Each structure stands twice: as C-alpha cells, then as structure tokens.
A and B are shown apart, each in its own frame.
Chain A
C-alpha cells in the first residue's frame, strides 16, 4: 500500500538504521518532530488529569453524580441524556475530518482549498467551545462548584472544571493557531517553503480530538 521513494529500510531494520546512522534519527521536518514531542508531553498532562480523576472517584466516600442525568437536556419536553455532549463529539470529529482534507489540499499546493478548510475547522472548533460555555453556565446555575454539587461526591465539580476546562483551553488555542496559519496559507507565505505547516497544525488539532475521545469515554460515559 505504501511506497517509499527512497530505498530506505522499513520497519525494525529501518528503526536500527535511523538510530545508528550518526545523523538525525527522525526523518521528518524538524517542526513535525517537535510537534510530536510536544504532543507526547501533553499526553502526560492529560494522562495525569485522568488518573487524578480516577483516584478521587475511586476513593470518594459519597456516590459519584450520574453523568447521564447531570448532562441531560430537556428538548421538547423530553429529557435526553448526554445530548449536548454527543453533538459536541460529532462536531469535533467533523472538524478532524475537514482538517485531514486541509492537509491533503495543502500538499497538493491547492492553497485556497486548504486555507478555507482550515477556517471551517476553526469555525467548528469555535462552535465546540461555545457549546462548552453553555454547558458550564448550565452546571454553574445548577449549583456545581469545584467544592460542592447537589448530587453527591464533592470532588465531581473540581474534576469537571479542571478536565473540561483544560481541554477547552486547548481547543481555543487550536482555533487561534488554525486561524493564523490559515491566513498565512491564504496569503501564500508557504509557496516556497512547502505546506508541512498545515500537517503540523493538523497534528495538534487531531490531538485535541483524541483527548476528547478519552474524556468522553471516562468522564461522561463511565
């Protein structure tokens, strides 16, 4: 399926060759290697948040508030569990799809399509943050605080604001990052340099989506 233009060794022998060749180990643009290493460090940040969440949830003496009911919305007189969270999940996945297509058009040197797809991605990200702000407002009105809530274990609020807040911050930064790079792409700043930057920005954006997959599973569904 994959064809390599050079005759470099693949798989494990490629691994040995890359590390023993007495030159750079990662044969990708340096910006991409650095983004991957940053994302690795961010994995540990979110990993520690989720492990901290696990610790307080296991050791809580009071029952944990049921996410199904806490995050239910009443639409047309019917209470639908987790409906806003589900819509947010679909929006974020869609934004990942448009981002992947932007990367593709970037490498095809179709800079207008790439830039507009990136702006669409940023817009979807903004929608996500807007819905999250709505969710926060609703929970704060319900009386959720980092130290108390009406339904059970007091630690729930602290975990909720910390984990979703940190993720929302990542999405917001991603929206700014995407907009800046999209405008630069639109102006043709990368015509000579090449469009790796679109892929690097995409890596960050897909990572934000990836973190949401874990938050959705462990915080909202568990």
Chain B
C-alpha cells in the first residue's frame, strides 16, 4: 500500500483525510469535556487521553514517524521522556512551595 523509499514518504491522500477527520472528532470531544463541564478525575483523564491520541496521530501519520527507521524514532522520541522526570521533581517542589506559603505567609 504505502512505500517509504529513498525518494521520500509516499502515502495515499485518503489516509491523511481519515486522520484529519479523526483529529476533528478528537478535538470536538475534548471541547465537549469543557462544554458539558465534567469535573475531577474523569475530566483530567479524558483531557489527557484525547491529548495523547491527537499528539500520537500527528506524530505517527502527519510527521511520518511510523515509517521512519528505528534509529531516528529512538533518537527523537526517547529524550523527551526526561521531561516526565522533570515534571515529577517540580510537582514535589511546587507542593513544598505552597506548603511554606501557607505556613509562613497566611
């Protein structure tokens, strides 16, 4: 069906149109999360699920990552995982900041 040759990425237009429609639906769904005012854990998990699905579709199909060689995939997709470690560190740090603000400034 599709070929990725040395001449570059060649995929049928219909595939892009399908992904496009899918991205539209996912965006509409994530907008609905706000529109119908879901709260709490359900809201956060739905926001994250729709976000990761959209990001995955854009990277895999539109940016052609799923047809690239493993060497490139690993070089690009593994380093950003450091941001998760950073996020975890900063959650602890900012909760400590909030704790000290409440203890000493209120």
Contact = CB atoms under 8 A, between A and B. Distances in A.
Interface residues of A, number: 69
B91 interface: yes
A203 B101 CA distance: 43
B98 A25 contact: no
Nearest to A8: B69
B58 A210 contact: yes
A221 B43 CA distance: 9
A40 B97 CA distance: 30
A47 interface: yes
Contact of B76 (A8, A14, A36, A58): A36
A78 interface: no
Interface residues of B, number: 63
Per DSSP, chain B at the interface is helix
Contact of B23 (A93, A214, A221): A93
Given A107-B8, A210-B59, A217-B47, A44 B98 contact: no
A7 interface: no
A19 to B, nearest CB: 6
A159 interface: no
Nearest to B35: A81
B72 A11 contact: no
Interface of A: 1-6, 8, 10-12, 14-15, 18-19, 25-28, 33, 36-37, 39-40, 43-44, 47-48, 51, 54-56, 58-61, 68, 81-82, 86, 89-90, 93-94, 96-97, 99-101, 103-104, 107-108, 194-196, 199, 202-203, 206-207, 209-210, 213-214, 216-217, 220-222
13 contacts: A4-B4, A18-B71, A36-B72, A54-B90, A58-B94, A61-B102, A103-B9, A107-B9, A194-B8, A199-B9, A199-B64, A216-B27, A221-B47
Given A4-B5, A51-B90, A61-B98, 9 more contacts: A40-B80, A54-B87, A59-B94, A59-B95, A59-B97, A82-B34, A96-B20, A210-B59, A214-B55
Interface of B: 1-11, 13, 16-17, 19-20, 23-24, 27, 30-31, 33-35, 37, 44, 47-48, 50-51, 54-55, 58-59, 61-64, 67-72, 74-76, 79-80, 83, 86-87, 90-91, 93-95, 97-98, 101-102, 105-106
